[in-house]
Amino acid sequence: MDNAIVSTQESAVHEAHEHVSLPQHRHHFETEEQQREAGSFGMWLFLLTEIMFFGGLFFSYLLYRNWYYPAFAAASNQLNVPMGAANTAILITSGFFMALGVWAAEMRKRQMLVWMLVLTTVFGCAFIGVKYFEYKEKYELHHIPGANFSVAMFVNPQNYPQYPDTYSEKPLAPDMAQKTQVFFFLYFAMTGMHALHMIIGIGLLFWLTWRAWRGDFSSGYVAPIENFGLYWHFVDIVWLFLFPLLYLINRHPLH
């Protein structure tokens, strides 16, 4: 019964608000609806530019993967699938809380929105943390392109009994093994660009959390939350393409 009363009160609030102009309504829009539609349309277009931006990297990856297939298959076997899978789960969870946050904003639940944004941030940071350990592992194995890069693991896998994945690998010819460096260039460029988007997103999340806590989004003005949600889901989706492309395809059976 209590619930029923609350919900009618809420709808009454909705009614009242429809006739009051929000302070965030900008003068050059005829209606708030128009403003909201324009905002989300603009966000979708921005995401389209992001797709084109990442598209250049994906195109390079596909091209070189096609050219240097053995090197790419061997190098991708060096990536840490459990960590990548964990990160996928972390990111999907973060996206789930973001979606709940958008819902909370639309329902004008201030406290829930703040909590959801905090949880989104926590899981976003967890992703970056896991990524740090992955990068660290690559550093220790001399798989970071540059002067320190070593193809030893790909030319003489039999010397690495401590890494079962590597040990069972067929050795690559030295010139093909050099091409694993191209894989790692692209691996760092693509995951690095993705991580940069995550970090920008986390920065924005701090700002939005502060605004949500202040109550900016508790009176029906939810465009920033919705549009940020779109951005955050987009960053998730990029990872959902990166993970299989970099870690999973043509992977040898796990030991």
Partner 1 sequence: MSAHTIVSLPDQSTAKLPKVNYLNNEHGLLSWLLTGDHKRIAMLYLVSITFFFFIGGAFAGLIRLELLTPQSDLVAADTYNKFFTMHGIIMVFLFLVPSVPATIGNFLIPIMVGAKDLAFPKINLLSWYLYVIGGTLTLAALVLGGVDTGWTFTTPLSTHYLNTHVLTAATAIFVAGFSSIFTGLNFIVTIHRMRAPGMTWFRMPLFVWSHYAASLLMVLGTPVLAIAIVLVALERIFGIGVFDPAKGGDPLLFQHLFWFYSHPAVYIMILPGMGVISEVISTFSRKRVFGYTAVAFSSVAIALFGFFVWAHHMFIMGVSNYSALVFSLLTMLVAVPSAIKIFNWAFTLQKGSITFETPMLYAFGFMGLFTIGGLTGVFLGSLGMDIHLTETYFIVAHFHFVMVGGMLMAFLAGVHFWWPKMTGRMYPESLSKLAAVTTFIGFNLTFLPQFILGYMGMPRRYAAYPPEYQVLNVLSTAGATVLGVGYMLPLLYLAWSLKYGAIAGNNPWQATGLEWQIQSPPLTENFTEIPIVDYEAYDYERLEKMTKNEVTTVG
Binding mask 16-45 for partner 1 (x = CB under 8 A): ----------xxxxx---x--xx--xx--x
Q: How far apart are CA 188 and CA 175, in angstroms?
A: 21
Candidates 59, 69, 206, 241: give the one binding partner 1 (CB under 8 A). Answer: 59
Q: Does 54 bind partner 1 (CB under 8 A)?
A: yes
The values of phi and psi at residue 174, to 5°, are: -55, -40
Shortest CB 128 distance to partner 1, Å: 20
Nearest Cα residue to 246 out of 61, 82, 50: 61
Binding mask 80-119 for partner 1 (x = CB under 8 A): ----------------------------------------
Q: Does 219 bind partner 1 (CB under 8 A)?
A: no
Shortest CB 15 distance to partner 1, Å: 26
Q: Does 69 bind partner 1 (CB under 8 A)?
A: no
Q: How far apart are CA 59 and CA 245, in angstroms?
A: 12
Nearest Cα residue to 87 out of 124, 139, 49, 36: 124
Shortest CB 23 distance to partner 1, Å: 16
Task: Provide the residue count of the chain.
Answer: 255
CB of 232 within 8 A of CB of 94? yes
Q: How far apart are CA 175 and CA 150, in angstroms?
A: 13
Q: Does 139 bind partner 1 (CB under 8 A)?
A: no
Candidates 17, 24, 25, 60: give the one binding partner 1 (CB under 8 A). Answer: 60
CA distances from 238 to 23, 89, 90, 189 (A): 35, 14, 14, 13
| Footprint on this chain of partner 1 (rule: CB under 8 A) | 26-30, 34, 37-38, 41-42, 45-46, 48-50, 52-57, 59-60, 63-64, 68, 145-146, 178-179, 181-182, 185-186, 188-189, 193
